[in-house]
Amino acid sequence: MHELILGGARSGKSRLAERLAGESGLAVTYIATGQALDSEMAARIRQHRARRPAHWSLLEEPLELARVLRENAAAERCLLVDCLTLWLSNLLMLDDPARLDAEREALLACLGELPGRVILVSNETGLGVVPLGELSRRYVDAAGWLHQALAAQCQRVLFSVAGLPMVLKGEAL
């Protein structure tokens, strides 16, 4: 099963994804896309590490997500990707639209072929005001388009608000 979990900042989406991965009964590989580029992000990464089970595998990949998914997906494994919007930010900061397009298309192309369980976590950024800056608008647009394309492919889509999951598509929790 492939799942997409969306939510705002501090909505409980990562905890929900971690719970579902832990309940899957499969070996879990956590794929982290964030980079500790400042002290605040380093603290967030430490917090995420501290609450993950020690027996989960960890892969850190800020850019080549499709490659890592293809290399690690297996019928007996759950891949948890946290998070897609950090991955998009990393690609946007490269200021190479061709690379962003290539990586996004690679992700969308490989998802349907991946065995096992895949849980994708992403920030829903389209619920607020339209940002003033060009880069911020590109980010919100890219995230929205990616979420729509992934939601079409995933068997279940969840939206987390205040730690409460809402099923948008697929079977109930």
pLDDT tens-digit readout, 15-71: 999 999 999 999 999 999 988 778 887 788 788 788 889 999 999 999 999 999 999
Please tell me the distance from the alpha carbon of residue 111 to that of residue 63, in angstroms, as a whole number.
16
CATH of domain 19-168: 3.40.50.300
Please tell me the distance from the alpha carbon of residue 38 to that of residue 63, in angstroms, as a whole number.
18
Please tell me the distance from the alpha carbon of residue 115 to that of residue 18, in angstroms, as a whole number.
19
Structural contact between residues 133 and 17, judged by C-beta atoms closer than 8 angstroms? no
Measured N-to-C along each axis, helices 84-93 and 97-111 cross at an angle, to the nearest 10 degrees, of 150
The CA distances from residue 92 to 56, 58, 87, in Å, are 29, 24, 9
> What would the pLDDT profile of 64-113 be if each residue is shown by its tens digit?
999 999 999 999 999 999 999 999 999 999 989 999 999 999 999 999 99
Return the sign of the alpha-carbon dihedral for residues 26, 2, 7, 166: negative
* Residues recognised as catalytic: 48
